[in-house]
């Protein structure tokens, strides 16, 4: 079994199998073995660079520092956005008699799982609270995530799904999968911002 040593010490605390356990159903939807392996590698690299020591830490990490997440963590957010983007794609593919563009499901699922992988470098816990790291101040997660994806050898279209999924992609060319991931991402983010501003009618 391939083992990734991600800890600062000798003990191996986060392995490849742990990442597979987190995202098993979504990883299983990626048909291309090499792409699936690179998605796992990008997560492993982000975990290593961010010096994350346990899955429990990742499950405590808020998915954003920009608003109150009401306990929705980074892993939950990643899965919800990936599944949301899949839902947007399937709704069109199953409804339209003729698709005006082709949706690449491997690219969509991989992009969903990786769209925020840069947050492994952007967010840290200082012992008391979650904060933006020095790395995060230097480069927001779409940039650091795109770099991680490039380092593991993912194709440029996949890098577009990461680098252009947030405001960095506004007004920029995007593959269709980036558009769907962006919409799924903001469908999970905007309601929380609205709730915090008392603009969500409940």
Per-residue b/e over 2-20, b at no fewer than 16 CB within 10 Å?
A: eebebbeeeeebbbbebbe
Number of residues that bind Fe ion (CB under 5 A): 2
- If the CB atoms of residues 137 and 167 are measured against Fe ion, the closer one turns out to be 167
- If the CB atoms of residues 124 and 185 are measured against Fe ion, the closer one turns out to be 185
Q: How far is the CB of 1 from Fe ion (least distance, A)?
A: 30
The correct pick among 116, 122, 124, 177 for binding Fe ion (CB under 5 A) is 116
Site for Fe ion in 173-192 (CB under 5 A): 185
Both tokens assigned to 74: 């980074």
- For 2-68, the DSSP string reads -----SSSSS--S-HHHHHHHHHHHHTT---HHHHHHHHHHHHHHHHHTT---HHHHHHSBS-SSS-
- If the CB atoms of residues 18 and 116 are measured against Fe ion, the closer one turns out to be 116
Residue 18 binds to Fe ion (criterion: CB under 5 A): no
Interface segment toward Fe ion; rule CB under 5 A; list 7-15, 22-30, 49-57, 115-123: 115-123
Q: How far is the CB of 125 from Fe ion (least distance, A)?
A: 19
The pattern of x and - marking residues 67 through 106 that bind Fe ion according to CB under 5 A reads ----------------------------------------
- For 161-201, the DSSP string reads HHHTSSGGGTTS---HHHHHHHHHHHHHHHHHHHHHTT-S-
H or E stretch at 32: none
- If the CB atoms of residues 4 and 74 are measured against Fe ion, the closer one turns out to be 74
Asked if 63 contacts 72 with a C-beta cutoff of 8 angstroms, the reply is yes
- If the CB atoms of residues 116 and 124 are measured against Fe ion, the closer one turns out to be 116
**What residues make contact with Fe ion under the rule CB under 5 A?**
116, 185
């Amino acid at each position: 079994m391939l083992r990734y040593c991600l800890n600062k010490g000798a003990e191996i605390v986060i392995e490849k199998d742990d990442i597979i356990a987190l995202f098993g159903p979504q990883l299983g939807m990626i048909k291309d073995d090499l792409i699936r392996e690179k998605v796992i590698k990008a997560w492993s690299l982000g975990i290593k660079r961010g010096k994350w020591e346990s899955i429990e830490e990742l499950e405590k990490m808020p998915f954003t520092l920009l608003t109150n997440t009401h306990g929705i963590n980074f892993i939950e957010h990643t899965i919800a956005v990936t599944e949301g983007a899949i839902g947007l794609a399937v709704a069109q593919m199953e409804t339209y008699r003729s698709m005006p563009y082709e949706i690449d499901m491997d690219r969509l699922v991989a992009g969903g799982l990786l769209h925020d992988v840069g947050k492994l470098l952007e967010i840290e816990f200082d012992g008391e609270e979650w904060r933006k790291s020095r790395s995060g101040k230097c480069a927001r997660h779409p940039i650091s995530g795109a770099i991680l994806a490039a380092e593991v050898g993912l194709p440029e279209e996949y890098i577009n799904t990461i680098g252009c999924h947030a405001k960095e992609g506004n007004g920029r060319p995007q593959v269709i999968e980036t558009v769907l991931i962006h919409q799924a991402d903001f469908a999970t983010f905007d309601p929380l911002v609205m709730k915090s501003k008392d603009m969500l009618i409940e």
